Amino acid sequence: MLNMKYLLRGAKISFGFNPPGNIMYFFISIVQTTLSVYITVILGNTINEIQDKIGGNSSLSEIIFPIILLGIFSVLLWILVELRWRFSDDILPLKSRVRAQTKIIDLSRNIPVREFDREDFNTEYSKFADGYNELCSFLPSLTSLINMTYRLILSSVILFQMHFSFPVIILIFLVIGFALNINYANTLNDLWAKTQKISRKSDYLAKQFSGKNNRDTRLLHLKDKFVNDWLEINKTLTGLNAEGRKKTDRPFAIYISFCEQIAGLIAIVICLFLIENGALQIGAIYIVWNLISGAVGNAQNFQRAVTNLILNGKKFKTIFNFYDKYSVSPKIKNQGTSNFIKSDIPIEIKNLTYKYGEDITAVNDLSLSINKGESIALIGENGSGKSTLIRCILGLYKPESGSVKIYGSESYETDEKIIRQNISVTFQDYCSYPFTLRENVGFGDIDDIADDDKILSAIKFANADEILSKSGTLDAVLGRQLNPDGFELSGGQWQRLALARAYMNMRDIAIFDEPSAALDPIAELKQFETLKSALKDKTSILISHRIGFARLADKIVVMDKGRIVEQGTHEYLLSLDGKYAEMFNAQKKWYDLDYSETEKEGA
Ligand SMILES: Nc1ncnc2c1ncn2[C@@H]1O[C@H](COP(=O)(O)OP(=O)(O)OP(=O)(O)O)[C@@H](O)[C@H]1O
Ligand SMILES: [Mg+2]
């Protein structure tokens, strides 16, 4: 039930986040508990001394000493309580969170990109990340549980010395309490599993009212729909939580506050009886009441801690299974940077099939070779499989069947580093960073981020000079997500920066997925010219719906439903009068116009 193996592993990791901090926290907790129990005992004994003094059996000095001791202990206790809070609130969490987060990020780098395309995987991943973060507080919680157990044992030993019935009272009430609430852990575990997925949807809906989504929500009049959906979900969430509490915390809290009084009262009656018999003195009432009601009253915290331990065992099992699944990179590491032998063919695809799930065959038995220095234009309608093919080439997706080789090496099994050293890529859904202009371009080659000349020439190459004139300096912040003074850019301007980023470090193989989708036709034609010179001597794949772009390439490859349906030069494909000719004719007029516009502009 306790999943000991996973708990021990969790404790080891949690301890490793901050070993000295955890040791100190444990030490402080134990000393604090010992001190607070002994203060109760000393106070009880002092009451006895006072009673003796009143009865003339004791001298004043015998009372003063314990009172001074009490004063010193109380100050010490106060310092320890303060220290313990510092540790549990500031010192332990900060360092542990950084360590846990670093581990999560390291692991996420091993996870195949295609996994993140699946909704169920994202739920699994966020469950893992939340759970792994909880490891930070695991050892401190375990320390609290050990400390509570220690307090219970210490109190029982002291009480046993006074009379055997006192620890028996504690035991009886604790056992009844636990028995009444035996399903506590299971109920909470079920609740956690049920609420996870619903909470994600609730968070998503809440986000539709802020940031850029707010605009669409308003314009499309979606407010009522989203608010109603959110309300429904939150009604379910509140219902589930209330149901859980009804079965767990609520009955227990009522039971405990009742038992605390009853147990204390029974103990006092026994105490009075023992005082009457001369077995105990009056101060015993104080000690017995405090220790017994303290122990019984603490039962809820105790049970919560035990429950959390059981729940942690279950959670850790899921977390560590997930961790182990991805802790080893799926890339077969026989392709270290040193033993990668480059063959002559940059890209060689044979009978490649890739499926999303069972049903969607995005790339279907596709074969294609791209020679050194050759440039290919990949065209096809929406959903024909172009971007998926690129992901397979980059080794991000594992082929269902067939193979994709980069310089002779199976791309899915090749070290990411080698892929990066040989291929530069601009994705269709490129990133726009709300950071500086320097970072937006320099991220293309992080090692040269301080090299102004290189960044400036990449900006020039991508025809993004106007962004620099607007911002004035490379270090101006772009976008307003993180900085209210940032320069906001248009969609086309962001795309130019994505291109500049690619120009920072052009590799032997260059891939551009829709590099001109957000550009106006004139900017697109300018981009043509730049790309033409940038791609000289490179092996390249250009994806575009715009036929004008396709004409840049040595060979045009037309995709349809995951297959190559036509390939060859512009003239050859026109002569086929097939898919390409159809697309070309549909766009022809547009391009005739654009060319004449630029000619006019250039004249
Ligand atoms: N993450 C995904 N999960 C499931 N199916 C997907 C996913 N991404 C793409 N698909 C499906 O795979 C097919 C090919 O998509 P892909 O993005 O490769 O097309 P594309 O040719 O790049 O289209 P576009 O011109 O619109 O960019 C489509 O039917 C699409 O619905
Ligand atoms: Mg695409």
Q: How close is the Cα of 390 to the center of ligand 2, in Å?
A: 9
Give 383 Cα–ligand 1 centroid separation in angstroms.
5
Q: Determine the pLDDT at residue 51.
A: 83
In this prediction, the residues of the chain whose per-residue pLDDT falls under 70 are: 1-2, 57-58, 181, 329-339, 590-603
Q: Considering every ligand atom, which ligand is closest to the CA of 366? A: 1
Contact 362 CB / ligand 1 (< 6 Å):
yes
Query: Which of 356, 359, 396, 565 gets mutated to test ligand 1 (max ligand atoms within 8 A of its CB)?
Result: 356
Q: Considering every ligand atom, which ligand is closest to the CA of 381? A: 1
Q: Give the pairing type, strands 563-568 and 555-560.
A: antiparallel
Contacts of 563 (CB under 8 A, 6+ apart): 364, 365, 366, 385
Question: What's the pLDDT score for residue 602?
Answer: 38
CATH of 4-181+248-327, one of 1.20.1300.10, 1.20.1560.10, 1.10.10.10, 3.40.50.2300: 1.20.1560.10
| 8 A C-beta contact, residue 505 and residue 444 | yes
pLDDT, averaged across the chain: 86
User: CA 397, 400, 406, 412 torsion: positive or negative?
Assistant: positive
> How many Å lie between the centroid of ligand 1 and the Cα of residue 524?
24
**360 alpha carbon – ligand 1 mean position (Å):** 9
Beta carbon of 122 within 6 Å of any ligand 1 atom: no
Domain ranges across the chain: 4-181+248-327, 183-247, 347-602
Between strands 409-410 and 375-380, the pairing is unpaired
Residue among 298, 307, 305 nearest 182 (CA): 307
CA of residue 527 relative to chain centroid, distance: 38
CB of 361 within 6 A of ligand 1: the answer is no
| Residue pLDDT, tens place only, 567-582 | 999 999 999 999 999 8
> How far apart (Å, rounded) are the C-alpha atoms in residues 257 and 252?
9
- Interior angle at CA 566, CA 562 and CA 567, nearest 5: 110
Q: How much distance in Å is there from the Cα of 335 to the middle of ligand 2? A: 29
- Whose CA is closest to atom 17 on ligand 1? 387
387 CA from centroid of ligand 2 (Å): 4
Q: Which class would CATH give 347-602?
A: alpha beta
4-181+248-327 and 347-602 agree in CATH topology: no
121 lines ligand 1 (CB under 6 A): no
Cβ of 427 below 6 Å from ligand 1: no
User: How much is the pLDDT for 468?
Assistant: 92
Cβ(387) – ligand 1 distance below 6 Å: yes
- Among residues 121, 107, 137, the alpha carbon closest in space to that of 25 is found at 137
Strand-pair partners of 556: 377, 568
Tell how far the Cα of 413 is from the centroid of ligand 1, in angstroms: 23
Task: Report the atom number in ligand 1 closest to the C-alpha of 357.
Answer: 4
Q: For the sheet containing 563-568, what is the strand order? A: 423-426, 509-513, 539-543, 375-380, 555-560, 563-568
Helix or strand run (H / E) with residue 479? none
Q: What pLDDT does residue 10 have?
A: 94
pLDDT for position 599: 41
The residue to mutate among 120, 386, 564, having the most atoms of ligand 1 within 8 angstroms of its beta carbon, is 386
Q: Which residues pair with 567 in a beta bridge?
A: 557
Using an 8 Å Cβ cutoff, are 4 and 318 in contact? no
- Identify the helix (H) or strand (E) that includes residue 2: none
Give the burial class of 57: count Cβ atoms within 10 A of its Cβ; 0-12 exposed, 13-18 middle, 19 or more buried.
exposed
The span from the CA of 142 to the CA of 132, in Å, is 16
Distance in Å, CA 500 to ligand 2 centroid:
20
pTM: 0.69
Residues ≥6 apart with Cβ < 8 Å to 150: 30, 33
> If we measure between CA atoms, which residue out of 29, 153, 161 comes closest to residue 84?
29
d(C-alpha 158, C-alpha 139), whole Å: 28
- Evaluate: CB of 562 within 6 angstroms of ligand 1: no
Predicted local distance difference test score (pLDDT) of residue 407: 93
383 Cβ inside 6 Å of ligand 1: yes
Nearby residues of 18 by Cβ (< 8 Å), 6 or more positions away = 91, 92, 95, 96, 99
- How far is the C-alpha of 246 from the C-alpha of 173, rounded, in Å? 21
CB-based burial of residue 603 (10 Å sphere; 0-12 exposed, 13-18 middle, 19+ buried)? exposed
